[in-house]
Homo-oligomer: A and B are copies of this chain.
Amino acid sequence: MLQDLVGKKPLFSCAIGVTETAKIPGISAAGANPEITDYTPPADVELLHLGKCKCITGVPVTPDGIPTPALITRSALKLANIPIIVVNAGLKIKPQIPFVEVGGLPGNDIRTGKALNNAHEVIERAKIFGENLSKTVDYLVIGESIPGGTTTALSVLLAMGFEAKGKVSSSMPLNPHKLKIKTVKKGLETAGVKEGEFADDPIKAVSTVGDPIQPVVGGLVIGAAENVPVLMAGGTQMAAVLAVVNALKPEVMYNIAIGTTKWIINDKTSDIKGIVSKIADVPIFASDLDFSGSRFNGLKAYEAGVVKEGVGCGGATTAAMLKSNGKITKQIMLKEIENNYNKLVSET
């Protein structure tokens, strides 16, 4: 699939949302503390468009100060001059940049068993938008930013019958699998839903224990993949969306790939290949990024397994390399990322 995309024109779309699930202490590192995770997705896409954030000072960081992967995505898209369209999947804080509305609302804590209120309508609107986008470019890259998203990925995968306990990734080096499983079990229990019960009803799965980006990304993929290839840019969260898409429209799977980072592929605490292989025969590509020689500790930390993925950074990097026919190398990427990081650090 990738060979066919060399030199072709992509569009990068990013679905952003929040779920109360991310506020459970210890679940997410996508923000310096749980309460601030509401600001992470809008700040991420402000960074994509403007090179700096408006709704917060500085950029989103982990509790240890490691910067958001949006920095990587921004660098890749800018270098390769790839257009960006942000989709609001459900936010409490709106970004101060243009974004698309498809009716999405913030997600409830999955422990309520009532995660989303209008997933069906959101999927339908996202399908319309994905279909229209697919008429503009050669292929689509779709990323996401939602704190807590690997936990809601686990719950949707389990509700649909894909054994993924201990296999979803984490933005933390120590993956809190126990806490995630406990959270997910509580949600399924409250809803009175058995694992696998929603194998054929992904809309019920996401409505019960999912998060807002799942119906949005799912709808975008379904709407677009009938016309053009779609690179789902993300880690194990995208595997959950893949399960949703596969259950709703299996005939588009031939046109879908997952694009992620080597930090996800090499992660010992998760297993994206294991999850995806049970869903469908879809290729997984890892972008070739290497921060081990970086002059910034905040970037070096990525090599130690912090953050790993997010804001479609892996897929965006792959798209930039493809569009430039390999002229954008990992060395050029690191230099651009370091320059952008340096600018941000010196400004704040």
Contact = CB atoms under 8 A, between A and B. Distances in A.
Contact of A88 (B96, B101, B126): B101
A83 interface: yes
A100 B101 contact: yes
Contacts of A99: 100-101
Contacts of A85: 132
A128 B98 contact: yes
Interface string A76-107: 00000111110010000010111111110000
Contact of A98 (B83, B97, B100, B134): B100
A223 to B, nearest CB: 10
Contacts of A103: 96
Interface string A111-137: 000000000010001101100111111
Contact of A137 (B84, B88, B102, B136): B136
B83 A128 contact: no
Contact of A126 (B49, B98, B132, B135): B98
Contacts of A88: 101
B11 A136 contact: yes
A98 B98 contact: no
Main secondary structure on A side of the interface with B: mixed
A180 interface: no
A98 B129 contact: yes
Contacts of A137: 136
Contacts of A134: 83
B49 A83 contact: no
A84 B132 contact: yes
Contacts of A129: 98
Contacts of A167: none
A9 interface: yes
Contact size range, A: 20 to 34
Contacts of A9: 135-136
Nearest to A102: B98
B100 A100 contact: yes
Nearest to A98: B129
A132 to B, nearest CB: 4
Nearest to A138: B136
A97 B128 contact: yes
Contacts of A133: 83
A221 to B, nearest CB: 15
A89 to B, nearest CB: 12
Given A81-B135, A83-B135, A135-B82, A125 B101 contact: no
A101 B101 CA distance: 7
Contacts of A102: 98
Contacts of A121: 96
Nearest to A219: B98
Interface in A291-346: none
B125 A83 contact: no
A49 B128 contact: yes
14 contacts: A11-B135, A50-B128, A83-B136, A84-B132, A85-B132, A98-B100, A98-B101, A98-B126, A98-B132, A99-B100, A100-B100, A100-B101, A101-B101, A136-B136
